[in-house]
Structure 1
Amino acid sequence: MNTPRIDEKRAAVSVRSPIIINQLGAEIRASLIDHWSRPLVIDHPADRPPWEIAPEADVLLTRPLAGWNKAPADRPAGWPNGLRWIQTASTGVDFFPAWLLDGPVVTIGRGISADAIAEYVLAAILGFTKRLHDIRPRSRDDWKITPLGSLGGKTIGIAGFGSIGHAVAERVKPFGVQIGVLRRTPWQYAPAGILPVDDIETLFALSDHLVVALPATSRTMHLINADVLARAKKSLHLINVARGRIIDQQALLRALDDGQLAGATLDVTDPEPPPDGDPIYSHPKVLLTPHVSWTGGEDVKRLAGKVLINLDAYAHGAPLADVFDKNLEY
């Protein structure tokens, strides 16, 4: 007698075959169609607002870039219809309207792009330290020996110790640096090579390079302000791969102008993008990138894996992973 395959056993006890609205593209669709729960996958038309979905759907897979920046302030009529679960591709939810987070359970893409973002951070740190583009000779007269910087003995500060913070720490450890970390929850014990830091002011005073990897919440809005920046070493290089509003951007530009810190690498801004004419575009001490640190990795593959794990749980009526916490705001 043939033994049923695991997938068949799962299908036999499944709770529901979901109707899924897919706003995440063809690769995610391809990972869904063979799932044992036999979902009906509906690709959302690109020219339709992301909140205008089929009323019979019970699952929505979405991302900020699907068009949520144009969402109405008030909950649309009928929303959320039959939705029971919303999966976002992003870790942060600040690009979504409040009403999307106040209804069906929302699960987030925590950790999907951590490796790619950590590589961006490492590139920013090494680029600032070694200055290879700055010292490139363009003539015989430019051929001069210019001392380069080193990471040995420096302190890398990390504000926020989620998946991104952990990934950054693992990548900088081999360079012989001290790693200072500020996190929300108290430390029971610190991992090897990690120096716990109690507050943002102390982290700024210690760090030679400081990575902002905090969630954007009401508590972190302008956490990094003029008073905090005044505590920085004059040699500090500030890197923000989180959200622009965590830093008081005007205070940062003034601090750079006044020599309170040496430079900043910003992948995020407030607002985003900055308006034309904003001095952040041309500031000589700012390396600005257009919110791309999350790209270049295996984020689609990891997202597909996260969606499938949660789809297993959803079809069985089991708890979902990486659920958005309204109290923590992430």
Structure 2
Amino acid sequence: MNTLRIENKRASISVRSPIVVNQLGAEIRAALADHWSRPLIIDHPADRAPWEIAPEADVLLTRPLAGWHKAPAEKPAGWPFGLRWIQTASTGVDFFPAWLLDGPVVTVGRGISADPIAEYVLAAILGFEKRIHDIRPRSREQWKITPLGSLSGKTIGIAGFGAIGRAVVERVKPFGVNIRVLRRSAWPYVIPGVEPADSIEKLVEVSDHLVLALPATTRTARLIDADVLARAKTSLHLINVARGRIVDQNALLQALDEGRIAGATLDVTDPEPPPDYDPIYDHPKIVLTPHVSWTGGEDVKRLADKTLVNLDAYAHGVPLADVFDRNLEY
């Protein structure tokens, strides 16, 4: 988000004005309209499939909610037409068809919603410990002192140390907690107050609150399964703000029913949304929200800033930022 822009107040004669299909709304259009490259912006009709784009376009700005869940299994005839770059609003790409990722360079909205998601995580942790809504007295008879939980001395486990994981660390540090983090890549340096975890099993064993902030890949699918949950403390509170398929939901429900873990806060599920009558909807130990943890921040402004940085780079012919890596799957 702090990437420096390559600005040029006058478009060079050698720079062709990019033709941009915009599926991200009026605010993004307004941010791009005055760009020095003089882009021709085509607003995509809301009632048209997101892959049915103007064939002359070389840039596509899109998001999962544009209708990609209805995409055909095989790429449409002519795809990707003249596209040379696709910018997505989301960090994860699992909502898109595989053929969208197997063509022009794809850049993602990495880190855009890290702050509101981290605030959601903090709210979930404090809500679990303090239980303010649960202890509200409804009568004089219910007016009783009930001991509340505390974060001091507790262990916060974080699986995934991208922008979301780092934002969570910043917010929980002042509460006097122990922080353990599992990350895929090697630790390049020591982070004060953060202790690395060697495996998901080791992380689960010590965590009182476990935050899932991992990308959804073939390696992370069903990462939290029955075997992993069997290692958990009975006090464990699981928080998933990543993707539903990282958790084996049947194993999670069984662990909750049998009292082997204490609770879960789920902003994502598999499938999403869950089918009617799924026990996840009214389970007494689950706080369920409809994939909203990313909302409430300045995500539109941050997305616009990120897109402008990449539009600068694209117009100058230099590498783009936050490119999707097909090998890592994020």
TM-score tier by shorter-chain length is over 0.9
Deviation at 1:289, TM superposition (A): 0.2
What does residue 11 of structure 2 align with? Answer: 11
Give the partner amino acid of 1:179.
I
8 A contact 1:16–1:316 mirrored in 2:
no
Give the partner amino acid of 1:97.
P
Cα offsets for 1:22-72 (capped at 9, x unmatched) = 000000000010000000001000000000000000000000000000000
- Aligned to 1:168, the other structure's residue is in SS state helix
What does residue 270 of structure 2 align with? Answer: 270
Aligned residues: 325
8 A contact 2:64–2:95 mirrored in 1:
yes
Shift in CA distance, 140/121, structure 1 to aligned 2, threshold 3 Å: same
What does residue 136 of structure 1 align with? Answer: 136
**Distance between the aligned counterparts of 1:10 and 1:313, measured in 2?**
15
Deviation at 1:188, TM superposition (A): 3.5
What does residue 48 of structure 2 align with? Answer: 48
Give the partner amino acid of 1:265.
T
The TM-score with structure 2 as length reference comes to: 0.97
What does residue 171 of structure 1 align with? Answer: 171
What is the root-mean-square deviation in Å for CA atoms of aligned residues?
1.1
Cα offsets for 1:234-274 (capped at 9, x unmatched) = 00000000000000010000000011100000000000000
- Aligned to 1:195, the other structure's residue is in SS state strand
8 A contact 1:31–1:304 mirrored in 2:
yes
8 A contact 1:58–1:84 mirrored in 2:
yes
What does residue 36 of structure 1 align with? Answer: 36
8 A contact 1:265–1:288 mirrored in 2:
yes
**Distance between the aligned counterparts of 1:30 and 1:170, measured in 2?**
33
1:159 and 2:149 aligned: no
Comparing 252-261 with 14-23, greater Cα deviation is found at 14-23
Give the partner amino acid of 1:283.
H
User: Structure 2 regions of 5+ residues with no counterpart?
Assistant: 1-5
The TM-score with structure 1 as length reference comes to: 0.97
Aligned-residue identity in percent = 81
Shift in CA distance, 221/318, structure 1 to aligned 2, threshold 3 Å: same
Q: Which runs of 4+ in 1 moved over 6 A?
A: none
1:80 and 2:80 aligned: yes
Shift in CA distance, 102/251, structure 1 to aligned 2, threshold 3 Å: same
**Distance between the aligned counterparts of 2:97 and 2:329, measured in 1?**
13
8 A contact 1:113–1:294 mirrored in 2:
yes
| Structure 2 counterparts to residues 73-222 of structure 1, below 5 A | 73-222=73-222
Shift in CA distance, 14/26, structure 1 to aligned 2, threshold 3 Å: farther
